[in-house]
Amino acid sequence: MSAPKTLYDKIWDAHVVSQDEDGTCLLYIDRHLVHEVTSPQAFEGLRMAGRPVRAPEKTIAVPDHNVPTTLDRVSGVIANEESRIQVEALDKNAKDFGINYYPVNDIRQGIVHIVGPEQGWTLPGMTVVCGDSHTATHGAFGALAHGIGTSEVEHVLATQTLIQKKSKNMKVEITGKLKPGVTAKDITLAVIGHTGTAGGTGYVIEYCGEAIRDLSMEGRMTVCNMAIEGGARAGLIAPDEKTFEYVKGRPHAPKGAQYEAALNWWKTLFTDEGAHFDKVVTIRAEDIEPVVTWGTSPEDVLPISAVVPAAESFTGGKVDAAKRSLDYMGLEPGQKLTDIKIDVVFIGSCTNGRIEDLRAAAKVVKGKKLANGVRAMVVPGSGLVRHQAEEEGLDQIFTEAGFEWRMAGCSMCLAMNPDQLAEYERCASTSNRNFEGRQGYKGRTHLMSPAMAAAAAITGHLTDVRELMAAEEIA
């Protein structure tokens, strides 16, 4: 009998094309997702070398980072010239190289990491790459998925492989059950708060345990999405009945006998009893509270009941970094997190732009109004998420409360499009990065779950959503 393997070992082994003596491998890539920002130079490289795309049928492109999310975009072109050139370059490259494409005006357009699973391109056991660090999202399906740079985008386009060395195995187990009102976003932020942003460097994380099993596919995508924020190359969750049910019937998922054949293999995709992990982190689900970030690194996580920390409470290089963060964020040590007033609320992104996220936010918002002076927007992760939400009447709930209801895109997660914070504006955001300038020059970001962001929108300050409604009613 062969040695017990982790889920990562199994997927890795199934994709090794060749291996050199020093362990450097050529790894086959099953799905290559492409967006407009990190691909133009790669396509240009192919043209200069006269190379075709090796597997256009396994390559899927969609513009998301640059696209405006205002309703008038359906009839107009993108006003910002540089953005328009980048999107037009993707239009042209998709056509010239014959790859699958969802242009801006297609209802299936959206954030690449939401479109991939939604269309059934992402399947268990696959290798999935994209020139985007949040490719880790697809790990929720038990797919080995990670971000790559533009040189590697070109490499995958030309060869359908990547030159890789295997990472180490890390297990993150969330035992027991979450308390009511605590969500997937709180899990993933709490893990980063625990391990630090470099804690996962050199590892592929497998998330497991009862609290992970209990999550929906949407919640699992939220958890894996932020594996990169913990420094890991990828995050994985073993596929189960929920996964198979989610995948079944999607446009590019296998059908009939092929589905059955695929299912037989997918059911073997779990970590064997006794398989070796190089690092194990265990967190009790009941210890996780609704959390927010206070600083400018995703590791700056605290329960909403806490106070802003003093820089001196840290050690090493983090003392200076915390000083810089507090200054940037305009916060004083000892200040209660719930006393922090906000100007803007952003609900969306590849972390929290799926239907379940919008439902969770809508539950909090229903029948209430935005706090005075707060600007808030809901940006569905794809045209289809938007459509589904409208079918359920969620758009009405949001607009009646005073939120803007937008078209799909990356929006204010990274401010490459018109959705940005003004200088010193403070945002309750469901996105993934609170870096300096991430949502706009001098903008201040607090990361949190959709329910918590919705609560902040109603009260005008960071808020424990459990004070607005019964914890059991929160998604």
Partner 1 sequence: MEKFQKVTGIAAPMPLVNIDTDMIIPKVFLKTIKRSGLGVNLFDEMRYDRAGNELPDFVLNKPQYRDASILIAGDNFGCGSSREHAPWALADFGIKVIVSTSFADIFFNNCFKNGMLPIVLPQAEVDLLMKDAEKGANARMTVDLENQQITTSDGVTIPFEVDAFKKHCLINGLDDIGLTLEKVSAIDTFEAQSAQSRPWV
Q: Is 320 in the site for partner 1 (CB under 8 A)?
A: yes
Q: Which stretch binds partner 1 (CB under 8 A): 140-148, 171-179, 339-347, 466-474?
A: 140-148
Q: Cβ distance 149 to 38 under 8 Å?
A: yes
C-beta of 401 vs 415, nearer to partner 1: 415
C-beta of 179 vs 252, nearer to partner 1: 252
Q: Which stretch binds partner 1 (CB under 8 A): 184-192, 229-237, 396-404, 456-464?
A: 229-237
Residues in CB range of 379: below 8 A, 6 or more apart: 69, 346, 347, 348, 349, 353, 406, 407, 408, 409, 411, 412, 419
Other beta carbons within 10 Å of 52: 12
Binding string, 403-432, against partner 1, x = CB under 8 A?
-----------xxx----------------
The reply to whether 350 sits in an annotated binding site is yes
The reply to whether 427 sits in an annotated binding site is no
Tell the smallest beta-carbon distance from residue 148 to partner 1 (Å).
Answer: 6
Q: Which of residues 145-204 bind partner 1 (CB under 8 A)?
A: 146-152, 154-155, 158-161, 163, 165, 167, 197-198, 201-202
C-beta of 121 vs 403, nearer to partner 1: 121
Q: Which of residues 326-345 bind partner 1 (CB under 8 A)?
A: none
Tell the smallest beta-carbon distance from residue 363 to partner 1 (Å).
Answer: 32
11 to 126, 137, 183, 291, 462: CA distances (angstroms):
7, 16, 28, 33, 41
Considering only residues 41, 70, 100, 216, which one is a binding residue for partner 1 as defined by CB under 8 A? Answer: 41
Q: Is 40 in the site for partner 1 (CB under 8 A)?
A: yes
Q: Which of residues 362-401 bind partner 1 (CB under 8 A)?
A: none
C-beta of 43 vs 403, nearer to partner 1: 43
Considering only residues 71, 85, 107, 422, which one is a binding residue for partner 1 as defined by CB under 8 A? Answer: 85
Burial degree of 229 (CB within 10 A; 0-12, 13-18, 19+):
buried
Residues in CB range of 469: below 8 A, 6 or more apart: 363, 364
Q: Cβ distance 115 to 98 under 8 Å?
A: no
Considering only residues 176, 402, 437, 460, which one is a binding residue for partner 1 as defined by CB under 8 A? Answer: 437
Q: Which of residues 106-125 bind partner 1 (CB under 8 A)?
A: 123, 125
Q: Is 306 in the site for partner 1 (CB under 8 A)?
A: no
C-beta of 48 vs 74, nearer to partner 1: 48
Binding-site positions for [4Fe-4S] cluster? 350, 410, 413
